[in-house]
Structures are given as structure tokens and as C-alpha cells.
Amino acid sequence: SQTIHQWPATLVQPVGSPLSLECTVEGTSNPNLYWYRQAAGRGLQLLFYSVGIGQISSEVPQNLSASRPQDRQFILSSKKLLLSDSGFYLCAWSGSASNQPQHFGDGTRLSIL
């Protein structure tokens, strides 16, 4: 069966520091991968998605970036965090065909001080 791992579970970072959140998927090949942000009391906002190694699509302009160095690895990064980057970040995967349901990791609670 497929599993998705996301870490760390919680992270406290100072303003201006870098960020790296990692997500890996097991049990499937060539998945679509996604990064979402969930602000308090709100739904999910898609930040990035990837349909293959090195292929990244950005949905919202921001100071975050994403990379996919391997088929089942998806990384969310920032060179300098802002206070507004605080939130709950979720990684998800789906089958490579369109309209497949997305399956989520446990999320990372990011607090910027």
C-alpha cells in the first residue's frame, strides 16, 4: 500500500531564516505531488504541484519554492521566511491520471517568530 511521509511535524523558525520541508511517498511510481498551505480557520491553498521529476508548477506567487529531485520526493523551501509564512503545510500525492483523489501527509505546523 502507498504511504506518504512528511517531516518535521512542527517547526519554529525565526524571520529571515531558511526553510526546508520534505515529503516522500512509498508504494507507488510517478505520482503527482502537491504542497498546500492551510491558514487558521481556512481551507487549503495549493502552492505547488509536480507531475514528474524536475517539473514544478506554482499556483501562487510567494517567497517559497519547491523541488522534486527524485520521483517520490518533494521539497518545499524558502531562502528567507516571512511572518506571513506561518501556517500548516500539507503534502499530498495522487495517481498520475487526472482526477485521482489526493492523499495527504500528516502536515507540518510552521511557526515564524
Detail the DSSP E strand segments found in 1-113: 3-7, 10-13, 19-26, 32-38, 44-52, 55-58, 64-70, 73-78, 87-94, 103-104, 108-112
Say whether residue 101 binds another protein (CB under 8 A). Answer: yes
Q: Which is nearer to another protein, 14 or 43 (CB)?
A: 43
Binder of another protein out of 22, 67, 77, 109 (CB under 8 A): 109
Site string for another protein, 31-70 (x = CB under 8 A): -x-x------xxxxxx--x-x-----x-x-----------
CB 50 within 8 A of CB 66: yes
The CA distance from 87 to 112, in Å, is: 9
Q: Under the rule (CB under 8 A), what is the footprint of another protein?
A: 32, 34, 41-46, 49, 51, 57, 59, 88, 90, 92, 94, 98-99, 101-107, 109
